[in-house]
Chains A and B, each alone.
Chain A
Amino acid sequence: MTVSQTSFGSHEPVLEIKDLTVKYRGDTRSTTAVDRVSFSIGTGEIFGLAGESGCGKSTIANAIMRLLRDPAEIAGGSIRFGGKDVLAMGQEELRRFRWQDVAMVFQSAMNSLNPVMTIGHQIVDIYTTHAGYTRKESLRRAAELLELVRIDPARLKSYPHQLSGGMRQRAVIAMAVALKPSLLILDEPTTALDVVVQQEIMAQIKELQRELGFSVLFITHDMSLMVELSHRMAVMYGGRIVETAKARDIHAAPLHPYTQALMGAFPPLTGPRVPLTGLADGVKFSNIADVQEVTPGHFVSPLPVLQGASS
């Protein structure tokens, strides 16, 4: 860990989410994908959102970016970014908000590059569209940007298929920080990559974060990775947050049974081989109560109701 664990950024929150509820409306019934979720991210803080597929973590990311489309709808709560109400933004304001204030790297984002445009062309597009630079100036900045993520600027002329998966992912991350956003949302940024490349990308993100000082919302199901990178983290289950604390505290002493199960799903790399259990098939938690502060900074949802066989 080279990121200092003590610097949690200032207490001035960049992003504040309160009681956010997102519903997917069907013809006959609707599903609550995100249920009264609240958290905030401080300046320069890396905040992790952990949970399994379907727990609502990507829906939150899309809600922040106001990218949700029918049948999804924000049914309640508020999202404030630097004091501004994101949910009340008009189209023009949103355009500026995206990329300039908040940028997002999607899952398998490396496949979101346009295959028939060179990397350079795509980066220049960002600058000309969002920042209004001239082509020449944009090109110069694009070259700088690639250098920042250690890609040879000569690659500006390359098409996406000429780059490896890791390079493409780095290019996408470079594009995300092009306009120096104050919040970067990373939705499973390394899921499709090999461990060695994953490690490099994560090191790159840490370095960029140190250099540019942005805040990060980091979404993943890989608890080991999350604990290594994040300052603070929240664990989600079925649209609810079940536990929030400093990453190190959750790693050392997970309190909620679901967090314990998630932690138990990652065998350690050192020490004796001990049997782990994970979460048994079919075990479900329901009626998850609001989190309460147990020790300073450590919030957990009390007394979960266990359903189904636990074997």
Chain B
Amino acid sequence: MSRHSDTAALEVKGLVKDFHSGGLFSRASVRALGGVDLAIRKGEIVALVGESGSGKSTLARCIARLEKPTEGQIRLNGTDVLKRDRFQASREYRSQLQMVFQDPFGSLNPVHRIEHFLTRSLTLHGKAGTPAQLRTRLDELMTTVGLTPDMLNSYPHELSGGQRQRVAIARALAVEPEVILADEPTSMLDVSVRIGILNLMRKLRDEQGISMLYITHDLASARYLADRIAVMFAGELVEEGESLDLMANPAHPYTRLLVSAVPDPARTGSYDPRERAALRAAVMESVSCAFDGDPQQRCSATEPVRHRVGDPANEHWVRCHLYRPPATAASHALSAEPLDALPEDKASA
């Protein structure tokens, strides 16, 4: 999967988002994102997976500039957009980065025809041209997303969920963006049309080189669509790697728990309940993560380092104190912290 080039289209560095919590005068806050680093290359599809509440939508909303990050950088083609447009996203940014939302029933205004949504996008971003050019462009957009141009005259309620999501994608495409953020674009759709939307997203990447961040809780679809998968847990990325490799060799307890929980009739044998209980304990009762808060735990006292997992070509890394590279495989800690400083009993946890 080396269709993409090596330069990052979108890069997020040390992104932190705190939400104010409690009453009006409370100074309490909840850390939704705790320093996220993520890069998407040109023409690459990266899937961001995690459970509800893990912060994946918050990350998308920060990147889309719908939320103001507390700290960190968002770089689009090398430019720090948070510095450039301090208070809200500029139109330039919007034309480079577009979002497709979860609910195609809510994201299209029911009183307008389909034509209106696309025309408005094109006009606002100065891409409408002459009426004839506009007409051609509209037809072209509809064809690209697999709809017929005569549907331009339809109202949203006349279309099925899958068709509506295609309109939402066409609207995002209208401004010729470089990056599309898709936040659970298929979870509200009927199952049989979901795969069609995923195929459309892949086609857009293949044909137009659009980079995508595909946010989902469905690991099977992430594996199907994305080149790389990043796993988010409690506001931090804990593991990232080439999709097939990550799903085949999940290294972080949380990733393993997620993978093991996905129903898969093809799986040979089911997970041993004891192994599952151990995984769950490692994740939920958390001896493994920085947010644990128990000062006695080494895990919470120090930041875990990134370890490379397996073949460097897969760019697979994990951030976990419990990770032990298999003795046979070459594995390197990607930063300088010595591994053997760990007490032995932790190592067997």
Contacts and interface: CB of A to CB of B under 8 A. Distances in A.
- Name the residue among A221, A276, A311 with the largest chain B CB count within 10 angstroms: A276
- Name the residue among B191, B199, B220 with the largest chain A CB count within 10 angstroms: B191
30 contacts: A194-B51, A195-B262, A198-B261, A199-B263, A202-B263, A203-B273, A224-B262, A228-B263, A228-B264, A261-B192, A266-B220, A267-B195, A267-B223, A268-B220, A268-B266, A269-B223, A269-B262, A269-B266, A270-B267, A276-B195, A277-B195, A277-B196, A278-B192, A278-B196, A278-B199, A279-B193, A281-B160, A281-B196, A282-B160, A311-B146
B244 A273 contact: yes
A69 B69 CA distance: 50
Contact of B52 (A194, A224, A269): A194
Contact of B263 (A224, A248, A261): A224
Interface string B299-325: 000000000000000000000000000
Interface of A: 1-2, 52-53, 194-196, 198-199, 202-203, 221-225, 227-228, 247-248, 251, 258, 261-262, 264-271, 273, 275-282, 311
Contacts of B146: 281, 311
Nearest to A228: B263
B51 A195 contact: yes
A11 B82 CA distance: 67
B12 to A, nearest CB: 24
Interface of B: 51-52, 146, 160, 162-163, 166, 190-196, 199, 217, 219-221, 223-224, 243-244, 247-248, 257-267, 270, 273, 280
Contacts of B195: 264-265, 267, 276-278
B266 A228 contact: no
Contacts of B270: 1-2
Nearest to A275: B199
A281 B193 contact: yes
Nearest to A190: B263
B128 to A, nearest CB: 27
A269 B162 contact: no
A281 B224 contact: no
Contacts of B193: 265, 278-279, 281
A281 B162 contact: yes
A269 B267 contact: yes
Given A275-B199, A280-B196, A265 B220 contact: no
A261 B247 CA distance: 24
Contacts of B257: 196
B72 to A, nearest CB: 27
Contacts of B199: 275-278
A224 B261 contact: no
A264 B196 CA distance: 11
Contacts of B258: 195-196
Contacts of B217: 194-195
Contacts of B51: 194-196
Nearest to B222: A267
Contacts of B260: 199
B219 A265 contact: no
Contacts of A278: 191-196, 199
A285 to B, nearest CB: 11
Nearest to B244: A273
A269 B196 contact: no
A52 B220 CA distance: 19
Given A268-B220, A269-B219, A269-B247, A199 B261 contact: yes
B265 A251 contact: yes
Nearest to B225: A267
Given A195-B51, A196-B51, A267-B224, A52 B191 contact: yes
Nearest to B196: A278
Nearest to A280: B196
Given A2-B270, A266-B220, A225 B263 contact: yes
Contacts of B280: 196
Contacts of A251: 265
Contact of A269 (B163, B190, B191, B264): B264
A63 B39 CA distance: 52
A248 B265 CA distance: 8
Contacts of A198: 261, 263
A252 to B, nearest CB: 9
- Name the residue among A198, A247, A279, A281 with the largest chain B CB count within 10 angstroms: A281
A276 B223 CA distance: 13
Nearest to A269: B264
A195 B218 CA distance: 8
Nearest to B269: A1
A52 B224 contact: no
CB-CB nearest 6 A-B residue pairs: A278-B195, A267-B224, A279-B192, A199-B261, A227-B265, A224-B263
Nearest to A199: B261
A222 B160 contact: no
Contact of A273 (B194, B224, B259): B224
Contacts of B194: 265, 278
B219 A195 contact: yes
Contact of B192 (A247, A262, A268, A271): A262
Contacts of A268: 220, 264, 266
Contacts of A265: 191-195
A227 B247 CA distance: 21
Contact of A262 (B191, B243, B248): B191
Contacts of B223: 267, 269, 273
A242 to B, nearest CB: 13
A288 B221 CA distance: 31
Given A266-B191, A281-B196, 4 more contacts: A195-B261, A196-B258, A196-B280, A269-B220
A224 B194 CA distance: 15
B264 A270 contact: yes
A53 B259 CA distance: 26
A278 B196 CA distance: 6
